[in-house]
Amino acid sequence: MSDCIFCKIAAHEIPASIVLEDDEIIAFEDVNPQLPVHVLLIPKEHYANVGDAVPPELLGKLFSKVGEVARIKGVEESGYRIIANTGEDGRQTVHHLHVHVLGGAQMPIRMGPAD
């Protein structure tokens, strides 16, 4: 999609600090990290979110790269959290499917009761 910032990162049209990449997947540092390790993992092809008829093989490939990101970033042993914010109530702000990989410190975020 021409106006999608993550499509532009996937196409190397705008800069990003790339953690890993292959023909279908790219992972890069979040520009506004919420923890010492904060990487975004995306398919290069545009899908709005995890519910956007993403081919199962591609979803599997995306999630299979989480462990590699964790290894590269040195959080495989200490642990991490993966998050895929989805839609308005999920507070998704960039509407190109992405998985946050967060670690390097204890997670401050706790699930609480709904408002």
Where does this chain bind ligand AMP (CB under 6 A)?
5, 16, 28, 30-32, 40, 85, 91-94
d(CA 7, CA 16): 12
Helices within 12-76 (DSSP H only): 56-64, 66-73
Active site residue 46: no
Q: What is the nearest approach in angstroms of ligand AMP to the Cβ of residue 73?
A: 15
Q: At what angle do helices 56-64 and 66-73 cross, to 10 degrees?
A: 20
Q: Which is nearer to ligand AMP, 50 or 75 (CB)?
A: 50
Active-site choice (38, 96, 98, 100): 98
Catalytically active residues are 98
